[in-house]
Amino acid sequence: MRVIKQKPMTVIERLYIFEAIRGLWTTLKHAARGLFRYETLPTISYPEGQPEIRNTYRAKHRLMLRPDGTPRCVACGMCAAACPAHCIFIEATQSDDPRIEKRVMRFDIDHLTCVFCGLCAEACPVDALRMDTKQIIFEHRSREDFVAHLYDLTNWDPKDYPNDEQSQMAPGGTKNAEARKVWGMEVK
Amino acid sequence: MSNYYNMPKLPTENSPKVEIFVDDRAVMVPGDTNLLEALKAVGIETPHVCYHPYLPVSGNCRQCLVEQEGPRGRMLVISCYTPVTPGMKIYTPASSARVKNARKATQEFMLVNHPLDCPICDKAGECTLQENYMEAGQNEGRLRPEYGKNYHGNPEHQFIDAKGQLRGGKHVDIGPRILLDEERCVQCDRCVRFMRSIAKDEQLQLAGRADHTYITTFPGEKLDHEYDLCVTDVCPTGAMTAKYFRFQKRVWLLAHTPTISMDDSLGANIWLDHADGRIYRVMPRCNPEVNRSWLSNTSRLAFQQFDKNRLPAIDASAIQISGGKVALVAGGACTNEDLAALKMLKDALGDRAELFGGSLLKVGAPDGIAKSGDPVANRAGMQLMGFADVAELLKRAGEFSNLITVNADLYGEDAAAAKALDKISNRIALSAFDDATAKKAKVAFGIRHWSEVQGTMVNSLNILQKLSAAPTCPDEKLAPAYEVISTLAGNKFNSACEAFMKAREYVPAFADITYDAIKSTGKLLGGNA
């Protein structure tokens, strides 16, 4: 067994009063810093100041879009199968596009049940589900509002993702016109 | 390729046991069967694609290769078409790297042009190719991406996809109930053999040769047969998919309840596949004596009506039996438990009650696959319990003043003949559905459908079969028929087991049989009971 020997206290330390004053001084120092040199504090004052979030942070989900604006999701249910919290509900239907077989009809994510593990985004075989919206605040009036539906998940702006090529191919993105040409290509 | 193959001989309980050597170990296997079944009997599973126990052996997939010691050394043979001979020496992948590699290579070839559709394929989760891949394959892809998939089946259905690959035949409308995906097809020809040898109506054909082979119908014709949905069962891949189940549910989310289809007296063994409280599909459950692996479209698609037009549960006190004679009529879907409860009610009412059973529908001819043609499923059970035929009731309808029908839609079956029943004033209908009889009745009492009750039935082959309850009842308040009837009789059965105990008292053939003694394939009742 390893025994850590504590250094015996010196006489001044054992007197207590000087150590107490030293502790108070630390507190006072930080209080003064908050008053006069607020910017240098390592914390942020949360509701006014927002933390910087990277796009790798597992935030609220979004569904990627094809150049024609339909969700890339093929309703395979891999995300629902991978989900440890069972918070994804998918219903599939036949696609109107002859090149695509299956299309998603209902895609609900219950963000009250979601544990934000990111396994769904990892399981997605067509890169349709992502968690890079950087939205970490969820505030709603009722429990039902916490369930994100297909509309909420696909309703994002390509301008918020300037460096992401896939996002720019969606309608409104800079590469949309180009991608639309390839997408609408006559295939036979 | 010859058009006619032999049906495989399957091992039975009476098969002679012979000694063969598997991986140099002596094992006793059934001697009158093929090697694949013999190995299965001793617990060695052999991956196979084209072999099906109830279809003629065609041996084209070469997936079930094993090594056999012969006069010219160890040779690769297909186990599905090699008969067992005493003393033969067999090597499986457990000891032979050559077998392992051969199977792996076969697997790899089969998957070369197979699309990577698994996420959107309805068969994913119960696909033979997936199983074989996990068991024997596990190849890393050696396909060069610049080459891609290359489909050369039906030239009419070829197209170039957005990646520049040659693809084809993604959803070919091959019939009113079936959709064909030619790309997923591995040309095992199970569906062709099914239509040829089981359905006896050769509507499907393999066209083309080698890599260009594809499944098709005759020009201008469609796949349309009473048993055509069975081809989706035998299809080892997702090539043949049923339109009614297409994209409805991923198969791993379905729970399975083994039960009996109560719309025919053969009592086809089925799985009710259900999720979130509703049935999504009905699959045949293999029973070698009864329906093998087949199920008619009528039985398979009947589930779509199970939750529609249901009667609500009402208070049992609404059922009032007035003075005068009582006719108790059991319909075809009544289980032995319901019949026992009816018989108990007759005993309680005394001589003024009489038991009738059956339906006014015509009895057809057996088709030799999965239907006997008799719409009264439990007719044998009714005969064992001493129920008179319902035609008798129509003749003597004037004598009765009370009519209690259980699952018997007499007015719906033959309105003209059932008119004779109008003479009976107090008509009470116990039925799952709000059918014609329920509408004509004074009191219509909602009960559980046969898919939602536990029970037993005796089929036309005198086999006692067990029904299980699927948790798909639309209303928890609905009670099984035996519970309602036994309440009327004043001795309520709290479980199907209690009701069966009562049935045992009435029927000598059921004596000593318990629910546990009835196997999943049923129990043959001895003699001509």
Which secondary-structure segment (H or E) carries B216?
A: strand B214-217
Give the pLDDT band of residue B4 (cuts 50, 70, 90): low
Q: Three-class SS of residue B300?
A: helix
Q: Which of B320, B378, B325 is nearest to B355 (CA)?
A: B325
**pLDDT given for residue B137 in this prediction:** 67
Q: Is A79 on the interface with B (CB under 8 A)?
A: no
pLDDT digits (tens, 9 = 90+) for A87-109: 999 999 998 887 788 999 999 99
On the question of pLDDT at B528 being above 70, the answer is no
Percent of chain A with pLDDT over 70: 98
The reply to whether residue B119 touches residue A78, judged by beta carbons under 8 angstroms, is yes
Pick the residue from chain A with its C-alpha nearest to B171.
Answer: A101
Q: Give A 114-143 residues with CB within 8 A of chain B.
A: 125-126
Residues 142-181 (B) with a CB less than 8 A from some CB of A: 159-162, 170-171
Query: Chain A residue with minimal CA distance to B172?
Result: A98
Give B20-30 pLDDT, tens digit per residue: 999 999 999 99
Distance (Å) from the C-alpha of residue A123 to the closest C-alpha of chain B? Answer: 11
Distance from the A178 Cα atom to the nearest Cα atom in chain B, whole angstroms = 14
- pLDDT, one tens digit per residue, over B184-202 is 999 999 999 999 999 999 9
Chain A residues in contact with B172 (beta carbon < 8 A): none
Distance CA B24, CA B517 (A): 38
Q: Which two tokens stand for residue B152?
A: 């050369």
Cα angle, residue B393 at apex, residues B424 and B318 outer, rounded to 5°: 40
Q: Which residue of B has its CA nearest to A104?
A: B247
A-B CB pairs within 8 A amount to 39
CB nearest B161 (choices: A74, A78, A187)? A187
Closest chain B residue by Cα to residue A75 = B120
Q: CB–CB of A77 and B161 under 8 A?
A: no
Cβ–Cβ gap B162/A187 under 8 Å? yes
Q: Tell me the nearest-neighbour CA distance from A56 into chain B, angstroms.
A: 25
**B17-22 vs B65-70, strand pairing mode:** unpaired
Would you place residue A49 in the very low, low, confident or very high pLDDT band (cuts 50, 70, 90)?
Answer: confident
Contact B253 A77 (CB under 8 A): yes
pLDDT of residue A66: 92
Give the nearest partner residue to A101 out of B159, B160, B171, using CB atoms: B171
Q: Is any Cβ of chain B less than 8 angstroms from the Cβ of A25?
A: no
Expressed in percent and rounded to 5, the helix, strand and coil fractions of chain A are 30, 15, 55
Residue with tokens 């001493």: B386
Interface contact flag, A74 B119, Cβ < 8 Å = yes
Three-state SS at A52: coil
User: Is residue B315 scored above 90 in pLDDT?
Assistant: no
Those residues whose C-beta lies under 8 Å from the C-beta of residue B6, and which sit 6 or more positions away, are B56, B57
Cα–Cα distance measured from residue A97 to residue A74, given in angstroms and rounded to the nearest whole number: 12
Contact B162 A77 (CB under 8 A): no
Least confident of A35-44, A122-131, B137-146: B137-146
More confident residue, B318 or B374: B374
**Which residue type does B267 have?**
G
Residue B247 sits at the chain A interface (C-beta within 8 Å): yes
Q: In 10 A of CB B378, how many CB atoms?
A: 34
pLDDT value at B168 more than 50:
yes
Cβ contact (<8 Å) for B247 and A92?
A: yes
Angle (CA) A48-A52-A57 rounded to 5° is 130
CA distance A126 to chain B (A): 10
- Please, what are the domains in chain B? 17-112 (3.10.20.740), 150-305 (3.30.70.20), 316-524 (3.40.50.740)
Residue A182 is nearest to which of B120, B160, B162, comparing CB atoms?
B162
Q: List B258's β-bridge partners, or say none.
A: B271
SS (H, E, C) B63-84: CCEEEEEECCEEEEEEHHHCEC
Phi, psi of B83 (to 5 degrees): -70, 150
Whether complex ipTM tops 0.90 = no
Beta carbons of A76 and B119 less than 8 Å apart: yes
3-state secondary structure B42-67: CCCCCCCCCCCCCCCCCCCCCCCEEE
Rounded (10°) angle between helices B481-489 and B336-349: 10
Determine phi and psi for B385, rounding to 5 degrees: -85, -5
Query: Is residue B453 over pLDDT 50?
Result: yes
Mean pLDDT of chain A: 91
- The pairing of beta strand B325-330 with beta strand B400-406: parallel
* A82: pLDDT strictly greater than 90: yes
Q: What is the mean pLDDT of residues B490-518?
A: 91
Chain A residues near residue B120 by CB distance under 8 angstroms: 74-76, 101-102
pTM: 0.88
Task: Tell me the two tokens of residue B78.
Answer: 């297909």
Sequence-separated (6 or more) residues with CB below 8 Å from residue A42: none
Name every chain B residue with its beta carbon within 8 A of the beta carbon of A94. Answer: 246-247
Q: Are strands A147-148 and B25-30 parallel, antiparallel or unpaired?
A: unpaired
